[in-house]
Amino acid sequence: MIDILLIVFSGFITGLITVLLGFGGGFVVVPLVYQITVVQPELTHYAMHIAIATSTAVMVFNSGWASYQNWRSGGLPVGLFPLTAFIAAGALLGSLCAGLLQDKAIRGFFIVYMVITLGDCLVRKGFFTPPQKHRLTVAVSCFGGSGIGLIAALLGVGGSVVT
């Protein structure tokens, strides 16, 4: 019963953080699911993989719905579409890498990612002050998009922070 209440509360907090900050789902979901599964003996060695897969499944549904709504309202710029193809390619690579890595390595990468992200939010002025709009270059679409997809799929976090 406590686990169910914790999941409901975490879902509420995840939604709240995501709406207020534009990111946060993976920051809440991955550690929560990890803590619930790591204490189960038959799942201990796969706890991080399960947490990432759960977070990714939530992300795919939510981002798909949000993207569809933005597309319907005309809010998606045309220049964004080449980036999405590279994000998908990076996500494929990230999911393949996640399958090859041990739980401990992925957990370490996740911790490093969280520290870098939180540090970036505190240090980089662009987080609080929006940058000027400009067209994406081919290099940014290719390497940036692939990196976004790789990190998102490998660690179960949304690509919004990297994007």
CA–CA distance, 37 with 21 (Å, rounded to integer): 27
CA trace torsion 86, 91, 96, 98 (10° rounding): 140
CA–CA distance, 149 with 30 (Å, rounded to integer): 17
Amino acid identity of 12? F
CA–CA distance, 48 with 127 (Å, rounded to integer): 29
pLDDT in tens, the chain (163 residues): 777 887 788 778 777 777 666 666 788 888 888 998 999 999 999 999 999 988 888 777 777 777 788 788 887 776 677 888 898 899 999 999 999 999 999 999 999 998 988 888 788 776 667 767 777 788 888 888 899 999 988 998 877 777 7
CA–CA distance, 89 with 138 (Å, rounded to integer): 15
How many Cβ atoms from other residues are within 10 Å of residue 95's Cβ? 17
Q: What is the pLDDT at residue 94? A: 92
Residue 42 DSSP label: T
Task: State the chain's maximal CA–CA distance in angstroms.
Answer: 51
pTM, two decimal places: 0.80
